[in-house]
């Protein structure tokens, strides 16, 4: 190889520059030279100058003046000039430049050049930067090359066709016939390209997908050939014959077998064979196994195969190679909802991965661990998660904290455990928890009335130790204010006795008030707590009065207002003080969310005798946030008919629970929040329209006091979700209420767990059950309209059974209607 | 499909960039900066996969060069490691014990080899020998031209 002397000389000079300024100077000189060269026209030096320009471009300097030169060089008859010209085109031109159109003609000519290497240059450039117009112009040429050329050109033409289809999807039909025949090629390069092309065609068009399903046996044959073939030096990588092609074929099989029983059946044997015979000691084998597992999980495979796949992932988890551990956790994450029990078996290993050095691995392990928490393993899992929280990297802390809260909310074995867990999180990572934690915890504490003494003692001790964590301090202040009398009593069954005097308590609160670490909200909490204590302690009321009056002249407006009001309470309204500051009633979790955007953590008025509206629990957080946002915009999205199904965790399949844990759940009918009361400032705006979603319910059955209504929640082309709502207007409760449903064969039915099986009398309550109807073959919709329901229940000791035929669903789901205010 | 392939040194100097998607110049520069920062800040014994926007980034260090590529969600990361390795093997075969300097001074040849291996973000040939043969033949074609013109190519 003759060295490219002058280019290399320039590179050497540039690299020897000692400063950035020196380098810039050299580059400027060289660019001036290059420009002069370009102006001189054809003298055999042009390709040389362009190469130098490309180097300069890679260093980050502007090189647009070389674009036209690329066009000229591409048109040159000399191969060396074409080669560098095309390279320049790929680096400097892209479809957004006008100059790129100018090379279309050259490419067209070169595609029919006698030398295959020139053809290959043209194909490569087209596949790299071809714009939609260029693709449209040249598509027939490419199609011709696909059919009639040698394998060297065929493989390039195939990938070029893939690019064309991506740019101009309408041209897909042009390439479909040739794609099928390419599968019978022997050359691996062409075969690989063909598989990529077919994958792309199937992605674009479901009819083509159906068509190519017929190719499954052929693909299975090819795969079998690769897996069982003897050593072939040309394609062998670490004992695997052409892993690149194998992975690609597996990916295509995945697409073809998805949601199709016949295709899936045809590949079962092959997948089992690949899964058992592939040697995974090196990356190549692991790559093939990984793809196999993904394919098995995505098609309708038999359960034995699925178990095999999960076991492979379990084996990966124990692998020394970090990459493979990471991969297996990513895959387990995808299947944890569908194959929950199988993944549970590997829980120990997953929890161990929490201690890995690598943050990416830690993150995956955290997500998986949170998904695997269940009522059975909550205590041990929580222990691990809390340990993890103390040592985890800062970017994962808030995710861990919210995950722990969700899990505790869902599965806590006892209230005391729940409170302990939350306190633990607040002490370790109080700074990273969400704002709603404080009111949620407060609400939880009020409901656990037997634990008030224990809680307030624990919080007091935590407060005394450290006042840096704002959420913890806020909760502690609130509790001390509320239950200060219990604190001062000194004895508590579940905790070591500690003598706390009134001065101690007031000292603690004053420290919080005066500390520069306390946020204004925290100081508000502390001030109110101090005030509340005035009715709960006997000796130091004067001290409280003086504290409160000091803050009457505080700079912070919030504190000043409160202090002034409290002062007034002391002076003018002393007779009311006891009543105003008495113990608050237990807050009900199911209250409608507050709508005017207040963070419920701030206690606005000292009007503590009214129950504080608290945003309904953690579960409905995403929903209530949605409500708040929509309210600010002046609309609401909740169905007008509130199905008063309990807002506590529905006893649906564990899959729904896990979706909640991962925080991705949108309000389902079972978790409906009753429509938030419209706020005044929304009503005042006369020009504001309210979008009201009307969801019609149709009554389908009325007999003996039991009525059944059907409500269509969601309707897509292949799926309908309906809710069946049962209510009871008799004098007695209806028990053992169950619904069974039957649908035509082409429809798949999935019934979620009902909200309960007792319907209270006098219409006091309802039972809701959601039913999912899926018609994957997209047969005509009237198919959906037939459903037979059998109702069975007990009333006053007698068993009743009845059948209902539903032949029409309320077809309009969620029809928006605009009503101006 | 691979979105881009970058080679850069430990100091963050770009040695090769191949883009399989049309992106404006400014965005390319930004991506290069992001990648170099992200990859260079990784500790030695961590896994080779990262998440960036909606892409999977796979990187591998070979001596003083980092090979970094971006994949779509459906792509197989372990296979991407094999792809990077295959490219390094091709360079090694061509240059004979390749080192960073070879790639610096002969960058256009590195591109030519890459263009025989990948196209449009996908693999075009899975056989090492086949690629080596085509690159050799193209070089021969170029040299014949040079002999004819009795001048060096570049």
Cα dihedral value A274, A277, A282, A284, nearest 10: -30
In terms of Cβ atoms closer than 10 Å to its own Cβ (0-12, 13-18, 19+), residue A635 is middle
Contacts of A791 (CB under 8 A, 6+ apart): A701, A706, A708, A726, A737, A738, A739, A800, A801, A802, A803, A804
- Given B46, B76, B142, which is nearest A287 (Cβ)? B76
3-class state of residue B51 by DSSP: strand
Q: Where are the domains of chain A?
A: 435-581, 697-806
Show which of residues 78-137 on chain B sit within 8 Å of chain A, judged by CB atoms: 78-79, 81-83, 85-86, 104-108, 111-112, 115, 119-120, 122-130, 134, 137
With an 8 Å Cβ cutoff, are A94 and B22 in contact? yes
Contacts of A124 in chain B (CB under 8 A): 115, 119
With an 8 Å Cβ cutoff, are A156 and B83 in contact? no
List, edge to edge, every strand of the sheet that includes B55-62.
B14-19, B2-9, B65-71, B55-62, B49-52
Contacts of B50 in chain A (CB under 8 A): 360
Q: Which residues of chain A have pLDDT under 70?
A: 1-5, 490, 588-696, 717, 776-786, 808-821
Planar angle of CA A437, A439, A444, nearest 5 degrees: 90
Give the integer Cα–Cα distance in Å for A286 and A328: 10
pLDDT of residue A234: 86
With an 8 Å Cβ cutoff, are A128 and B130 in contact? no
Give the integer Cα–Cα distance in Å for A365 and A516: 38
With an 8 Å Cβ cutoff, are B119 and A80 in contact? no
Q: B21 and chain A: CB distance < 8 Å anywhere?
A: no
Contacts of B14 in chain A (CB under 8 A): 58-60
pLDDT of residue A805: 81
Q: B9 and chain A: CB distance < 8 Å anywhere?
A: no
Q: Which of B38, B120, B121 to mutate to test the interface with A (most CBs of A within 10 A)?
A: B120
- Given A94, A117, A242, which is nearest B137 (Cβ)? A117
Q: A48 and chain B: CB distance < 8 Å anywhere?
A: yes
Give the integer Cα–Cα distance in Å for A478 and A495: 20
pLDDT of residue A469: 81
More confident residue, B76 or A392: B76
Give the integer Cα–Cα distance in Å for B154 and B142: 11
With an 8 Å Cβ cutoff, are B153 and A188 in contact? no
pLDDT of residue A438: 81
End-to-end Cα, chain A, rounded Å? 82
Q: Quote the minimal CA–CA distance from A53 to chain B in Å.
A: 11
Q: Count of residues for chain A? A: 821
CA atoms within 13 A on the CB side of A314: 15
**Candidates 3.30.450.60, 3.40.50.1860, 3.20.20.150, 3.30.1110.20; CATH matching B2-149:** 3.30.450.60
pLDDT single digits (tens) A542-551 = 888 888 888 8
Superfamily designation of domain A697-806: Gamma-adaptin ear (GAE) domain (2.60.40.1230)
**Number of CB pairs < 8 Å for A and B?**
179
Q: A240 and chain B: CB distance < 8 Å anywhere?
A: no
Contacts of A182 in chain B (CB under 8 A): none
- Given B22, B46, B119, which is nearest A322 (Cβ)? B46
Contacts of B107 in chain A (CB under 8 A): 54-55, 58
Instruction: Give the closest residue to A723 by CA, choosing from A796, A798, A671.
Output: A671
Contacts of A44 in chain B (CB under 8 A): 149, 151
- Given A80, A94, A237, which is nearest B145 (Cβ)? A80
Q: A51 and chain B: CB distance < 8 Å anywhere?
A: yes
pLDDT single digits (tens) B103-131 = 999 999 999 999 999 999 999 999 999 99
Q: Which of B9, B13, B72, B108 to mutate to test the interface with A (most CBs of A within 10 A)?
A: B108
């Amino acid at each position: 190889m003759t060295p490219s002397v002058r280019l290399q000389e320039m590179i050497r000079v540039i690299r020897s520059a000692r400063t950035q300024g020196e380098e810039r100077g050299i580059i400027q000189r060289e660019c001036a030279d290059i420009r002069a060269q370009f102006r001189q026209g054809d003298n055999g030096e042009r390709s040389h100058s362009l190469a130098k320009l490309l180097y300069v471009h890679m260093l980050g300097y502007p090189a647009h003046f070389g674009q036209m030169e690329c066009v000229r060089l591409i048109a040159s008859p000399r191969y060396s000039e074409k080669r560098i010209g095309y390279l320049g085109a790929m680096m400097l031109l892209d479809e957004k430049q006008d100059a790129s159109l100018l090379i279309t003609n050259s490419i067209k000519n070169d595609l029919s050049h006698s030398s295959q290497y020139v053809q290959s240059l043209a194909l490569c450039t087209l596949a790299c930067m071809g714009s939609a117009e260029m693709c449209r112009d040249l598509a027939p040429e490419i199609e011709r090359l696909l059919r009639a050329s040698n394998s060297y050109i065929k493989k390039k033409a195939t990938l070029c066709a893939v690019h064309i289809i991506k740019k101009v999807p309408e041209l897909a039909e042009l390439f479909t016939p040739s794609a099928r025949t390419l599968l019978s090629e022997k050359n691996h390069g062409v075969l690989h390209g063909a598989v990529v092309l077919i994958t792309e065609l199937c992605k674009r068009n479901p009819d083509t997908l159906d068509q190519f399903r017929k190719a499954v046996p052929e693909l299975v044959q090819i795969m079998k050939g690769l897996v069982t073939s003897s050593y072939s030096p040309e394609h062998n990588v670490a004992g695997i014959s052409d892993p690149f092609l194998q992975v690609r074929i597996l990916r295509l099989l995945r697409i073809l077998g998805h949601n199709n029983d016949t295709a899936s059946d045809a590949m079962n044997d092959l997948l089992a064979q690949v899964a058992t015979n592939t040697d995974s000691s090196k990356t190549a084998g692991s790559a093939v196994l990984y793809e196999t597992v993904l394919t098995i999980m995505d098609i309708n495979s038999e359960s034995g195969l699925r178990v095999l796949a999960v076991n492979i992932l379990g084996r990966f988890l124990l692998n020394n190679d970090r990459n493979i551990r990471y991969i297996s956790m990513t895959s387990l994450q995808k299947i944890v909802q569908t194959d929950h029990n199988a993944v549970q078996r590997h829980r120990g290993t997953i929890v161990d991965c929490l201690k890995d050095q690598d943050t990416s691995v830690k993150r995956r392990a955290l997500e998986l661990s949170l998904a695997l928490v269940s009522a059975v393993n909550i205590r041990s899992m929580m222990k691990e998660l809390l340990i993890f929280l103390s040592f985890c990297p800062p970017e994962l802390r808030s995710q861990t904290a919210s995950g722990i809260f969700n899990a505790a909310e869902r599965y806590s074995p006892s209230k005391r455990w729940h409170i302990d867990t939350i306190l633990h999180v607040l002490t370790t990572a109080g700074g990273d928890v969400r704002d709603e934690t404080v009111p949620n915890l407060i609400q939880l504490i009020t409901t656990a009335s037997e634990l008030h003494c224990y809680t307030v003692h624990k919080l007091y001790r935590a407060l005394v130790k450290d006042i840096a964590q704002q959420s913890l301090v806020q909760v502690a202040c609130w509790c001390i204010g509320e239950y200060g009398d219990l604190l001062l009593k000194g004895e508590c069954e579940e905790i070591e006795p500690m003598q706390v005097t009134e001065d101690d308590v007031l000292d603690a609160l004053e420290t919080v008030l005066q500390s520069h670490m306390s946020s204004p909200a925290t100081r508000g909490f502390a001030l109110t707590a101090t005030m509340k204590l005035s009715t709960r302690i006997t000796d130091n009321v004067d001290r409280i009065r003086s504290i409160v009056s000091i803050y009457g002249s505080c700079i912070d407006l919030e504190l000043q207002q409160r202090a002034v009001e409290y002062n007034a309470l002391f002076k003018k309204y002393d007779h009311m003080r006891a009543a105003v500051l008495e113990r608050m009633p237990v807050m009900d979790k199911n209250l409608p969310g507050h709508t005017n955007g207040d963070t419920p953590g701030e206690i606005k008025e000292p009007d503590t005798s009214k129950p504080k509206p608290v945003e309904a629990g953690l579960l409905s957080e995403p929903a209530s946030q949605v409500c708040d946002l929509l309210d600010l915009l002046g609309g609401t999205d909740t169905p007008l008919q509130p199905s008063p199904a309990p807002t506590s965790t529905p006893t649906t399949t564990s899959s729904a629970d896990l979706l909640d844990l991962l925080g991705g759940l949108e309000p389902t009918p079972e978790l409906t929040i009753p429509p938030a009361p419209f706020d005044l400032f929304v009503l005042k705006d006369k020009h504001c329209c309210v979008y009201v979603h009307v969801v019609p319910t149709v009554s389908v059955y009325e007999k003996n006091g039991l009525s059944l209504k059907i409500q269509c929640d969601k309707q897509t082309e292949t799926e309908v979700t309906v809710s069946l709502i049962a209510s009871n207007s008799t004098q007695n409760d209806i028990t053992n209420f169950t619904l069974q449903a039957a649908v035509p064969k082409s429809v798949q039915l999935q019934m979620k767990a009902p909200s309960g099986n007792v319907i209270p009398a006098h219409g006091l309550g309802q039972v809701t059950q959601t039913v999912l109807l899926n018609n994957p073959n997209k047969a005509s919709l009237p198919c959906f309209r037939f459903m037979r329901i059998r109702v069975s229940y007990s009333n006053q000791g007698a068993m009743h059974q009845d059948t209902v035929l539903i032949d029409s669903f309320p077809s309009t789901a969620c029809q928006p209607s605009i009503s101006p205010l | 499909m691979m979105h881009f392939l970058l080679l850069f040194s430990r100091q963050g100097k770009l040695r090769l960039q191949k883009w399989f998607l049309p992106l404006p110049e400014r965005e390319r520069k930004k991506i290069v900066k992001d990648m170099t920062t992200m990859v260079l800040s990784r500790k030695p014994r961590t896994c080779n996969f990262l998440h960036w926007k909606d892409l999977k980034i796979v990187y591998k260090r070979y001596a003083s060069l980092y090979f970094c590529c971006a994949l779509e969600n459906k792509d197989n990361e372990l296979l991407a490691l094999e792809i990077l390795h295959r490219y390094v093997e091709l360079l090694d075969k061509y240059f004979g014990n390749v080192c960073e300097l070879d790639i610096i001074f002969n960058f256009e040849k590195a591109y030519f080899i890459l263009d025989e291996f990948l196209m449009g973000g996908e693999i075009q040939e899975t056989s090492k020998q086949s690629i080596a043969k085509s690159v050799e033949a193209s070089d021969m074609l170029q040299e014949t031209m040079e002999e004819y013109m009795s001048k060096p190519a570049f």
